Structure 1
Amino acid sequence: MLVNHYYSLDLNKRRYSLKTILNPFFLSVFTCFVSVFAQKDYGVHDPSTIVKENDRYYTFYTSNGVEYAYSTDLCTWHRAGKIFPSGFPQWITSYVSSFNGHFWAPDVFYMNNRWHVYYSCSSFGSRQSAIGLATSPSLSNPQWNDEGMVVYTNNSSDHNAIDPAIIRHDGKVWMVYGSFWSGIVMTEIDSTTGKPINRNALHYLANNDPEAASIIHHGDYYYLFFNRGKCCDGVNSTYYINVGRYPTPTGPYLDKNGNRTSNGGGTTILKTEGRFIGPGHFGFFSENGKEYMSYHYYDASQNGVSKLKISTLLWQDGWPVVNTDFDPCTPDTAKDCAGVKGGSAYIDNCGVCVSGTTDKKPCQQDCNGDWGGSAFVDTCGICAGGKTGLVSCSGLLQGEDALEFDGVFENTNDGFIGRGYLNMTNEKGSAVTISLCSDISSDFSLILRYANGSSTDRILSVSVNDTVQIDSIFFPPGSSWTDWKSVRIALKLLKGNNLITFTSLSNEGGPNLDLIAFSDKHLHDCAIQSKETVKPQIKNLNLRFSNGLISCYMSKETTISYQLYNLCGQTILPAVTQRIKPGINHLKLNTASAGRGVYLFVLEEKDTGKRYEKLIHAWH
């Protein structure tokens, strides 16, 4: 049943007032019902985290005066009261001049023997917003005290101070909040005052018009839940709930595909289904080993009225799965998708009922992110097959095989193919040149395997034989510098040797380049025909010079000595003896003191007596 307290609920929180949705006759019908509901009919918007005091459960929600309700069984709910039964704290108008007493999306949290309720003050379409705090020692016998402003924003802010949620774990308290603009932000809370330690110390967690964020800790991860889509428009709402996770509370939070929620990522766990339109505003509650989530939805069978729903939360491979079949009014009779009462089977991402008693395992994502897909990682570390449009590679050039480069060779970030990767210098104009041979003149596709652990795109131009063929190609960021991704480029190559140069277009430089793969049989490494004649020790050492560093590759641990001469044989830098490890090593040369010129670098292996020489050009 519906009750007379609907007048205080903003069913269209940010976009419409209630009177624009419901006609006068419909409003008059509301006032005729009593104030008790079944769970599936309880009308709220933006429900808070559910908390329990003694034998009662409580939830707060968007309303005039910060209203809240209680239940003894999570099924039948009763209106409990308001924090501000008349008027509202006057400090609010100093930050939100147009505020009318309608509070959005509160959250409740118990700390220092008091219940803390964080509430939002704003108006639609504005960043003139504030989050306030009220506390009480009890919810059943409340003595509310308003603690004032917690955070605020204005129209010059890059985020919006609404939709607060609190998490405490490992001795720290955090508040997440925000809506649209630059998205969801986080700040650390002083556990004594309940207010930020530093309001300006913000962590940006999610973008692309998110709101209604909440964070929980489960197992080894923190999980960020948030909404995207259109809120507050009844049956026309497109709200859906996403999640990302990370081992630390400040992120960066990643979805199942490894995409950052701060860069458009997010794995959807709940969206419109049947009459349950636009689910939103995740709240969490656990009891007796069972985990629940609360949220609102718009009931398509009742013209989009906003209602409370409680579902159970299951976990599969470290990710949350929502059991929407659970009904707290009939918890013992709820069946899973296999028809088992109280069962744990669920519909996986391929639409199949799995787990529980089914003996079926959930489908998996392939390397292209397709559930149940057939893409695979080939020998070049490239995701091929399936829906990628790529065939398995037939050959590759390693980043460390570059002819000329600005940067250093490294092997510190795991996941590379071969001996290491090329770390381009972080400056505009830094370049890498590789040599690729073709048996014919034609158009070819190449795949660049790279890592970009920064927060912005790395941008390169591509030229072939000194002619620019690609003005700019973007290398989007991944989750870290060990998250290797690939980008496909198309180039026109001539028969014979082609010099391909990648040049950075920004001060951030280029990505870390692991390899360049190709699948056309007409392409090959230009050095492949002469590899048999290369002396083993030269191939093993692979000396490279850039920015004052000599990079060398050793197959085993050994002792070396090296020094620098001018072309007249005079010693420029005295001999240095050191022990180096297997893999790529960087030897520092103080060429700045030597001055600009051409020098001879000499390295000797002490245990074998092998000697290596390389001419280097210093441009200081």
Structure 2
Amino acid sequence: MRLTRNKPPTDRLRGRRIAALVAGLGVVLAAAITIPLTVGTASAAAYPGPGIVTGDIVDVHDPEITKTPAGGYLLVHTGRGLSIKTSSDRTAWRNAGSVFPNGTPWADTYTRGGQDLWAPDITYVNGQYYLYYSASYFGENRSAIFLATSPTGASGSWTHRGLVVESRTTDNFNAIDPNLVIDGGRWYLAFGSFWSGIKMIDLNPGTGLRSGTALRSIAGRNGGAIEAPTLFKRGSYWYQYVSFDRCCAGAASTYRVMVGRSTSVTGPYVDRNGVPMTAGGGTEILAGHGSIHGPGHQAVLADNDADVLFYHYYTDSGRPQLGINLMRYDSAGWPVVY
């Protein structure tokens, strides 16, 4: 059993502690940097820089996104009570408070009384927003995933719906990094970090809470660094995006985005070379390059112009920032970031 994970809340919010040191350095311009021809094994031809984004785009970890009924964008990310950002055009973002401005006492058992909540997942379905989120403490797999719902998505409008799944210190998985998956009339939740990898459970579509006791394994690295599953359907394939390696170490982060696919939402998922994701497989689609360090904890949104990849990365100063790119699919049906 791995006894560490790579997302301590103190590192997740590192940008806040150093904000005074980097104020005025023009962090927005980092989204439009020029990438050297070669940096290690990555090249400008291999990975583009993030698209230009403006506004409140720093101090972002684990961004998750959904479209609003009006066509705007609602983004939630790791932070005190879970931070909310909104945008009308996917470029300019503004802070919009927090999901739980009055705290989450039901999560205190898992956070040791801390107010930082991790890695939310937000979906607009059935006329309301469903928000799954993680409560944990660095270095432990005594963790939980909870559900909240809201008719508007606004700060303070969320209703606590209860515990979805938890992990104990005797378990070989970690109940963090949730992702709601809807396949026709069936609902699933993918989640997991380190330990024995990425898991999937069934949900009751009527309540959004867990249904049954089945616990499937859909990806893993034999205890190695894998987390943040995102399952997304395009054409006849379900794509499972995950993040490999080290997050939350500033410019030293080695996070990278990997993908596999399956014709079934429950797997088995394999990479481009046919290696099962349960055996460490994964095809890299985005990694650090130039002044973009540790891109990962991705979310994928089907938008009007393309499928869109959201993620966080670190600038040279070590500050976490929102990254956004479009994706296309090559002749073999594998996603390519541009």
Range of TM-score over shorter length: 0.7 to 0.9
Asked if structure 2 preserves the Cα contact closer than 8 Å seen for 1:53 and 1:139, the reply is no
Which residue of structure 1 lines up, in the alignment, with residue 8 of structure 2? 15
Which is bigger in relative contact order (C-alpha 8 A, separation at least 6)?
A: 2
Identify which of 132, 138, 146 aligns with 2:152: 138
| Pair 1:123 & 2:123 matched | no
Distance 1:112-1:142 versus aligned 2 partners, 3 A rule = farther
Cα distance in 2 between the residues matched to 1:97 and 1:76: 32
Cα distance in 2 between the residues matched to 1:143 and 1:16: 24
| Pair 1:266 & 2:282 matched | yes
Cα distance in 2 between the residues matched to 1:265 and 1:108: 27
Instruction: Kindly provide the amino acid, as one letter, of the partner of residue 204 in structure 1.
Output: S
Q: CA deviation at 1:143?
A: 2.3
Asked if structure 2 preserves the Cα contact closer than 8 Å seen for 1:14 and 1:123, the reply is no
Q: CA deviation at 1:159?
A: 0.5
Distance 1:19-1:186 versus aligned 2 partners, 3 A rule = closer
| Pair 1:86 & 2:102 matched | yes
Asked if structure 1 preserves the Cα contact closer than 8 Å seen for 2:76 and 2:120, the reply is yes
Distance 1:320-1:77 versus aligned 2 partners, 3 A rule = same
Tell me which stretches of 4 or more aligned residues in structure 1 moved more than 4 Å: 18-24, 29-33
Instruction: Kindly provide the amino acid, as one letter, of the partner of residue 207 in structure 1.
Output: G
For the aligned residue pairs, the C-alpha RMSD in angstroms reads 2.5
Partner SS for 1:93: helix
Cα distance in 1 between the residues matched to 2:197 and 2:245: 13
Distance 1:236-1:310 versus aligned 2 partners, 3 A rule = same
Cα distance in 2 between the residues matched to 1:269 and 1:320: 7
Q: CA deviation at 1:13?
A: 7.0
Identify which of 57, 63, 66 aligns with 1:50: 66
Distance 1:306-1:247 versus aligned 2 partners, 3 A rule = same
Instruction: Kindly provide the amino acid, as one letter, of the partner of residue 255 in structure 2.
Output: Y
Identify which of 195, 211, 219 aligns with 1:181: 195
Cα distance in 2 between the residues matched to 1:64 and 1:207: 29
Cα distance in 2 between the residues matched to 1:169 and 1:141: 29
Partner SS for 2:171: coil
Identify which of 178, 183, 194 aligns with 2:208: 194
Cα distance in 2 between the residues matched to 1:156 and 1:238: 29
| Pair 1:248 & 2:264 matched | yes
Cα distance in 2 between the residues matched to 1:304 and 1:158: 32
| Pair 1:147 & 2:132 matched | no
Asked if structure 2 preserves the Cα contact closer than 8 Å seen for 1:40 and 1:307, the reply is no
Asked if structure 1 preserves the Cα contact closer than 8 Å seen for 2:100 and 2:156, the reply is no
Partner SS for 1:91: helix
Question: Normalising by structure 2, what TM-score?
Answer: 0.84
Asked if structure 2 preserves the Cα contact closer than 8 Å seen for 1:314 and 1:320, the reply is yes
| Pair 1:74 & 2:74 matched | no
Partner SS for 1:17: helix
Cα distance in 2 between the residues matched to 1:225 and 1:69: 23
Which residue of structure 1 lines up, in the alignment, with residue 300 of structure 2? 284
Which residue of structure 2 lines up, in the alignment, with residue 206 of structure 1? 219
Q: CA deviation at 1:290?
A: 1.8
Asked if structure 2 preserves the Cα contact closer than 8 Å seen for 1:51 and 1:108, the reply is no
Cα distance in 2 between the residues matched to 1:248 and 1:62: 30
Cα distance in 2 between the residues matched to 1:214 and 1:23: 27
Deviations 1:378-410 (A, max 9, x none): xxxxxxxxxxxxxxxxxxxxxxxxxxxxxxxxx
Which residue of structure 2 lines up, in the alignment, with residue 510 of structure 1? none
Which residue of structure 2 lines up, in the alignment, with residue 535 of structure 1? none
Cα distance in 2 between the residues matched to 1:85 and 1:23: 18
Instruction: Kindly provide the amino acid, as one letter, of the partner of residue 318 in structure 1.
Output: G
Unaligned runs of 5+ in 1: 1-11, 324-620
Cα distance in 2 between the residues matched to 1:30 and 1:166: 36
Cα distance in 1 between the residues matched to 2:79 and 2:318: 18
Which residue of structure 2 lines up, in the alignment, with residue 238 of structure 1? 254
Of 106-115 and 136-145, deviating more is 136-145
| Pair 1:312 & 2:326 matched | yes
Report the count of equivalent residues.
304
Matched-pair identity in %: 35
Cα distance in 2 between the residues matched to 1:19 and 1:120: 14
Identify which of 161, 168, 171 aligns with 1:157: 171
Cα distance in 2 between the residues matched to 1:20 and 1:92: 19
Partner SS for 2:62: coil
